[in-house]
Amino acid sequence: MRSSISLSLLLLVFSVIGCEEPFSPKVALNDEYVLQCFVEGDFGRVVTPVNLLLAKVYDVEGLNPWLNTNDPSVLGAEVSFSINEKAYSLAMAVRPSKDSTRYGPEERYYVARIPKPEPYNVLTVVAKLPTGKVLRAQTTVPKARAFNSSYPFARGITTGVNLPPGTRDWTIDWEDYEPTEGHLFFPRLMIGYTKSVGDAEQGYTITVPARYIQSKDGPVPVYHTYSTQKFCSFDFPAIDSAMASISADDPKKISYAVSSALLEVIEFDAPLSKYFSSMGGSLDPFSIRVNQTVYSNINGGTGIFGSYFTNKAYFDFNPDYVRSFGYRYR
Amino acid sequence: MAYANVVLRGTSLGASTNSVGYFHIASIPSGRYTLVVSYLGYHTQLIPLTIEGGKTVQVNIRLAPSVIETQEMIVVGERPERLNEPDLGMQKISAQDIAIVPPGVEPDIFRTLQMSPSVGATSDISARYFVRGGGSDQNLVLLNGATLYSPFHTLGIFSVVDPEMVSLLEFHKGGFPPSYGGRLSSILNVVTRDGNRNEFHGVGSASLLSGKVAVEGPIPSGSFLVTGRKSWYADVMKKYLNNRDAPFDFYDFSWKISSAEPSIDRNSRFAFHGFFSGDQVKNDDPFREDYLVRNRILGLNWHKIWSNPLYSIVSVSISGFDAEVMPKLSPTKPRKNKLSDFTADWDFTYVYDSRDELNFGLQNKFLSTTLELENTFGNRISFDQSGWDVNAYVDYRFYRWESIGITIGIRFKFEAISEYRPLLYEPRASFTYRMTPSISLKAAFGWYSQELLTLSDENELISVFEPWIITPTYLNSAQATHLSLGAKVYWVDDCTTEFEVYYKPIRDLIDENEEKFMATDRDFINVDGESYGVEFLSQYEPQRLHMKFGYALTWAHKMKDGVRYYPRYDARHAVNALMGVDLGSGWQASATWVLRSGMPFTPIAGFYDRVTVNPWSEPYDYVVPEAVTLWGKRNSSRLPYYHRLDLSLIKQFHLGGAAVAFGANVVNAYDQKNIFYFNRDTGEEVYMLRILPSVSLKVEL
C-alpha cells in the first residue's frame, strides 16, 4: 500500500515537472548586413550592368522567413566596384521585382554599367553603409578554356561511328594541367533547332542529358551538374533521344531543321565554387544535420561576391545524322 | 564467474575472482581452513583446505545455480571488493544490474551505462553514449578481449550485445589501467558468461521488436552457450523515427565454448568464442538507398596458471566491421568501409606473498581500414591504411597495506598505426586510501592516446554510416590526460556514496573541416578540447530494494578556428534515479527517471534573402532570392531540459516445467515532449520518444 502511495505521489510530481517550458530557437537580432553580387566575365569589354544587392538581416514572427514583408534593402550606401585598379561607382536603382508578394512590385539594388571584366581581372567591391559599417570583398575572374573532343567527327557529330569496345559516349574535356583551386564547372550541351510554322521559322533549344537511367517508370534523364571534373560526357543514346525528342510525336519531321549543338561550360571562381559547394551535400534520408556552414567572402558581413566565365563552343552535326531523323540540315 | 566472493572462514583473508573467474589469496599461514565461495543466485560452497608452508594450493570450484527466478530481476547483493582497490572511475555491472533497468522495448546494456553519472546520450534514438565529455568513438567496447567496432543496431538505437550472454561489464570512465589503450574516454569490457556445465538449459524471449533464444549446456570438459536474436517487427522502429519508414532488419548471434580438459593440461582453460551481427535497411523502392552494417569476431582465450602464482591469458582474435551505403537510383552517394583487426595479446599476472600484484603484457594489433566515398561532385575518394600497433605494459599494484592501495604502471608504444603517433609511453597511476573503515579517498592519473576514429559529423543527430579510419597521415593522433580525485563513503551496510572530480584535457582530436569548400581542402583537422566536472552516485540496496541516485555536473568544449564551443553531447547537469523493488509473489517493479540539460544547438540569429546562381536561367544573377536562416554562434544556445520516466512491471510464474516472465513496460510514462531538434526548413519541433508502452515475454526451460 505504501509503495502504491509513493508511486502515485511520484507520478504526480512527474506530471507537474512534465509541463512544457517556453522555448525559442532564436537569439536577439543583431545588426548584420548581407552583400551579394555575381559578375560575369567576358572578352571584348562588353558594357553590361553589374547588379549588387545590399540588405539587412531581418527577423519574423515564428520561423518562416518568407513571411517577412518589410524590405530589408539597405538604402543610401556608397558602393564602389573596381576592375584591377579602375574603380566605378554603383548607384541605387529600382527594377521590377520578380516576386512582388513580399516587398511590393519594385526591388532596390545597386547598379553600374561597366565593361565586363576579362579573365584574370581582379575585382573588388567596397560598400560603405549609412551606419558607417564597411563591407568589402575581392575575387579573380576565371580564365577562358579550350575544348578537346574525344572524337574528331570529320563531318560533324554523329552517333553512327565505329566505337571502340566499351565506349558509347562523347567526351569533351577542357583539361589544361593548370591548377584551378577546385573551381566548379557547370557544363550543358544544347541542340539548337528551328521549326517551320507557316512561312516563319521559330528557334528553340533542347538540352542533351548526360545519360538515361532505367527506373520502374521508364528511362530518367540525368543532366550534368556542378562538378570539379574538367570534362563532361554524353551517352550516344542520350544524344539520339534528345534528337528524337525534338519532333516528339509530330509526324512532320521535315518541318524541323538542325545544324549544330552548343556546349556551354560555366566556370565559377573560387568564392562562388566554395559558396555552391557549401550549399551542396547529399545526406541519406535517415541522417539529420542541424548545422550548415555557408561560405561567405564578405569582410564585415555575410553574403557572396564572385565571378564566373562562360566558355562556349559550337559543334556541327553530321548532315546524314540529322537527316536520319527526318529533319532538314542547314 | 566474475567477482565471486572467496573467503577463508574465520579469518580476514579473502579475495574476489577476477573478470574471468580466477582468484589468489596470498600469505595464508599453515593450517586447516574452510574456503567459502559465494555468488548471488548460486549455492554457496564450503571447501575444506589444508595449507602447508611454502606451497600453493590450487582449487577448482563449480557453483550450482540456486533459484532460476533470481536471474530475471532481483536486488543485487553485496558485491565483494577489495577495500583498498585503486578503482576510481571503474564500475562493475552485473547481468542483474542490466535486468533491473526498465528495458523500454528491448533490454540494453548501453542504456544501463547511461544510468551512470557523466555517461550521456544525445537522444532517445541512440544508445550511443558519451563519457565525461568525450566523443562516442572514444569509447572502446571489448567482447571477451576482442574489439567490437560497431556495437549498435539500427542507427544506434540498441546495442548488439544481447544481455542474455553477459556475465559482467567492467566499465572504466577514466583513469583506466595500462592494460587498456587505444581510446581516450572509456573502456567497456564485456565478459560473456560460460554455458551451464551442469544441465541443458534454454531461454526464449520476445519483445515487440525482436525474438531471441539462448541455449546452453554441458559438453565433455566444459560447456557451450549459444545466443541469437532477430528483429521481426520493423514498424516499432517508426516510433523512434517520427513515423518515417524504417525497413530495418537486424540479427546478432554469439557462441562460446569453454573447455578445461585436465588430461591435456590441468592448469589451462580455453574459451573459443564468436560473435556476428548484421543490420540492413532494404528499401523496395529503387529510388531509396540500402544500407548494410556487419560485425564479426572470432576469438580464442587461453587461460593458464604457470607456476603459481603466475597466471596468463592469451587472447587471439579476428574482428571486423563492414558498412556500405548502396544508393541504387537515389541521389545518395555510394560509400563503403571495411575494417579488419587481428589481435594477439598476452597478459600476465604475478601475485606476491605480500599480496602485491604485477601485471604485464604484450598487445599486438594489425589493423587495416578501407574507405570508399564519392563526394557531392562525383569525385571518388579511396582511403586505405594499415599497420601494426604494438604495445607493452607493466602495472605494479601495491596491496600490501590494509588501508592503502596504489597502482603504478606504464604503457609503451613500440609501433603505431598512424603517421604522427602521439605518445611513445603512457604513464598511469591510481591510489586509494582508506581514511576510516567507512571512508576511502581515491585518485587516478593517466595519459591516453587514440589512433582510430569514426568519421562522424557531430552536427548529424542521426547518422547511419559512421566509418572507421586510421588517423589521416596529415594529422596528429589524439591524446588526453585524465586527472581525477574522489571519495567513497560506506554509510551503513548496503548504502554507499561515491564522489568524484575530474579534469580531462584533450589534444589533437580529429574533427570535420567545416571550412572544406573545395575538393582540395582537407577533410579533417586537429582540434583541442577539454572536459571537467563533478559526479556523485549514491546507492542503497537493502533486501528487495535497489535504489540508485546519480548527479553529474559536466563541462565539455572544443576549440576550433580559435572559437570555443560546446559539442552537442555537452550536458551541464544530469540526474539519474533508479528504483527496483521486489514486490513479492513473483512481482517486480522498476523505474528510472532521467533529467539532463538540453543539448547545445546553434540558434537562429536572423534571416536574409539569399541570391543564388541558377545555371538553367538567364541572366544567371537574377533569380528570385531564397529566404534563408542566418545561424548564430555555434552551439551557443541549449534546448530545454530533457526528462523522462520509464516504468517496468514483471510477473514471474511457473507454467508446467517452464519459468515464465511477463513484462509490461512504458517508456516516457508521463509523455514528456522532449525536443530532439527543430526542422530547419519548417520550424517544426521534432520530439524524442513519446509515451511508448510495450510488453515482453521470456520463457526458460
More confident position, A10 or B477: B477
What is the rounded average pLDDT of the residues A190-194? 92
More confident position, A298 or A174: A298
Sheet with B186-192: strands ordered across? B90-94, B166-172, B186-192, B139-143, B146-147
A289 interfaces chain B, CB cutoff of 8 Å: yes
C-alpha cell at B192: 560473456
The rounded distance, in Å, linking the Cα atoms of B438 and B496 is 9
More confident position, B633 or A137: A137
Q: For B317-350, what is each residue's pLDDT tens digit? A: 999 999 988 877 776 778 899 999 999 999 999 9
More confident position, A99 or B609: B609
The rounded distance, in Å, linking the Cα atoms of B465 and B125 is 15
Q: Please enumerate in sequence order all residues whose Cβ is within 8 A of that of B245, keeping only pairs 6 or more positions apart, or say none.
A: B238, B283
Given a cut of 60, whether residue B508 has pLDDT beyond it is yes
Locate the chain A residue with the closest alpha carbon to B618.
A40
Locate the chain B residue with the closest alpha carbon to A20.
B673
Contact B518 A182 (CB under 8 A): yes
**Residue B75 pLDDT grade (very low, low, confident, very high; cuts 50, 70, 90):** very low
**Residue B577 pLDDT grade (very low, low, confident, very high; cuts 50, 70, 90):** very high
Contact A277 B517 (CB under 8 A): yes
Contact A270 B518 (CB under 8 A): yes
The amino acid that residue B108 corresponds to is D
Predicted local distance difference test score (pLDDT) of residue B74: 33
Q: For B467-504, what is each residue's pLDDT tens digit? A: 898 988 888 899 999 999 999 999 887 899 999 999 99
Q: Which of A10, A278, A285 sits opposite B517 (nearest CB)?
A: A278
Number of CB atoms found within 10 A of residue A165's CB = 5
A101 interfaces chain B, CB cutoff of 8 Å: no
A276 interfaces chain B, CB cutoff of 8 Å: yes
Q: Which fold has domain B90-192?
A: Ferric Hydroxamate Uptake Protein; Chain A, domain 1 (2.170.130)
**Residue B20 pLDDT grade (very low, low, confident, very high; cuts 50, 70, 90):** low
Contact A23 B640 (CB under 8 A): yes
A291 interfaces chain B, CB cutoff of 8 Å: yes
What is the rounded average pLDDT of the residues A255-281? 85
Q: For A119-168, what is each residue's pLDDT tens digit? A: 899 999 999 999 999 999 999 999 888 888 877 777 788 887 766 666 67
Residues of B in contact with A62 (CB under 8 A): 683
Contact B636 A27 (CB under 8 A): yes
Predicted local distance difference test score (pLDDT) of residue B231: 84
Q: For B551-574, what is each residue's pLDDT tens digit? A: 999 999 998 878 889 988 898 999
**Residue B79 pLDDT grade (very low, low, confident, very high; cuts 50, 70, 90):** very low
The DSSP code sequence of B379-396 is: -EEEEEEEEEEEEEEEEE
More confident position, B214 or B44: B214
Every domain of chain B and the residues it spans: 5-66, 90-192, 201-599+639-700
What is the rounded average pLDDT of the residues B422-450? 91
B630 interfaces chain A, CB cutoff of 8 Å: yes
Q: How close is the nearest chain A Cα to the Cα of B536, in Å?
A: 22
**Residue B124 pLDDT grade (very low, low, confident, very high; cuts 50, 70, 90):** confident
Q: For A208-250, what is each residue's pLDDT tens digit? A: 998 887 766 777 788 887 788 888 989 888 999 999 989 888 8
Beta-strand (E) ranges in A20-105? 33-41, 47-56, 78-83, 86-96
The rounded distance, in Å, linking the Cα atoms of B201 and A171 is 67
B637 interfaces chain A, CB cutoff of 8 Å: yes
The rounded distance, in Å, linking the Cα atoms of A57 and A34 is 7
Average the pLDDT over each of A107-116, A291-300, A302-311 and give the range with the smallest value: A291-300
* Residue B2 Cα distances to A23, B81, B187, B190, B262, angstroms: 48, 12, 17, 11, 22
Predicted local distance difference test score (pLDDT) of residue B500: 95
Contact predicate A291/B602, CB 8 Å? yes
The rounded distance, in Å, linking the Cα atoms of B309 and B572 is 47
The residues in A 199-258 lying below 8 A from B, measured between CB atoms, are 213, 215-216, 220, 226-229
The residues in B 319-348 lying below 8 A from A, measured between CB atoms, are 325, 329, 331-333
Alpha helices in B235-363 (DSSP H): 235-240
Specify the 3-state DSSP secondary structure of A85.
Answer: coil
Alpha helices in B201-244 (DSSP H): 235-240
Q: For B47-70, what is each residue's pLDDT tens digit? A: 888 888 777 777 878 777 664 443
| Among A255, A138, A128, CA closest to A199 | A255
Phi, psi of B69 (to 5 degrees): -55, -35
Given a cut of 60, whether residue B93 has pLDDT beyond it is yes
| Among A289, A296, A58, A290, CA closest to B602 | A290
Residues of A in contact with B154 (CB under 8 A): none
* Chain B interface mutation, best of A4, A27, A70, A309, highest count of B Cβ atoms under 10 Å: A27
**Residue B32 pLDDT grade (very low, low, confident, very high; cuts 50, 70, 90):** confident
| Burial class of residue B681, CB neighbours in 10 A (0-12, 13-18, 19+) | exposed
The CATH-assigned architecture of domain B201-599+639-700 is Beta Barrel (2.40)
Phi, psi of A93 (to 5 degrees): -145, 170
B553-583 burial, b for 16+ CB within 10 Å, e for fewer? bbebbbebeeeebbbbbbbbebbbbbbbbbe
What is the rounded average pLDDT of the residues B656-667? 87
**Residue B72 pLDDT grade (very low, low, confident, very high; cuts 50, 70, 90):** very low
The rounded distance, in Å, linking the Cα atoms of A133 and A137 is 14
Phi, psi of A46 (to 5 degrees): -65, 130
More confident position, B677 or B410: B410
B545 interfaces chain A, CB cutoff of 8 Å: no
Contact predicate A310/A264, CB 8 Å? yes
CB pairs under 8 A between A and B: 213
Q: For residue B474, what is the DSSP state?
A: T
Q: Which of B378, B602, B605 sits opposite A32 (nearest CB)?
A: B605
Mean pLDDT of chain B: 84
C-alpha cell at B155: 542507427
Which H/E stretch holds residue B643? strand B642-655
The rounded distance, in Å, linking the Cα atoms of B701 and B687 is 41
Contact A98 B624 (CB under 8 A): yes
Contact A268 B517 (CB under 8 A): no
Average the pLDDT over each of A44-53, A157-166, B391-400, B643-652 and give the range with the smallest value: A157-166
What is the rounded average pLDDT of the residues B129-158? 86
The rounded distance, in Å, linking the Cα atoms of A132 and A110 is 18
The rounded distance, in Å, linking the Cα atoms of B105 and B124 is 12
pLDDT above 90 coverage of chain A, percent: 33
| Burial class of residue A251, CB neighbours in 10 A (0-12, 13-18, 19+) | exposed
The rounded distance, in Å, linking the Cα atoms of B152 and B156 is 5
What is the rounded average pLDDT of the residues B182-190? 93
Contact predicate B137/B185, CB 8 Å? no
* Chain A interface mutation, best of B153, B621, B634, B637, highest count of A Cβ atoms under 10 Å: B621
Beta-strand (E) ranges in B352-477? 357-374, 380-398, 404-415, 425-436, 439-450, 452-454, 460-462, 468-470
The rounded distance, in Å, linking the Cα atoms of B334 and B290 is 10
Q: For A70-121, what is each residue's pLDDT tens digit? A: 999 999 999 999 998 889 999 999 988 878 888 889 989 999 998 889 889 9
Predicted local distance difference test score (pLDDT) of residue A169: 84
What is the rounded average pLDDT of the residues B428-454? 93
B125 interfaces chain A, CB cutoff of 8 Å: no
The rounded distance, in Å, linking the Cα atoms of A268 and A226 is 10
Predicted local distance difference test score (pLDDT) of residue B101: 81
Q: For residue B309, what is the DSSP state?
A: T
Mean pLDDT of chain A: 83
Residues of A in contact with B632 (CB under 8 A): 27
Q: Which of A3, A17, A27 sits opposite B581 (nearest CB)?
A: A3
Given a cut of 70, whether residue B239 has pLDDT beyond it is no
Q: For B354-363, what is each residue's pLDDT tens digit? A: 889 999 999 9
**Residue B22 pLDDT grade (very low, low, confident, very high; cuts 50, 70, 90):** confident
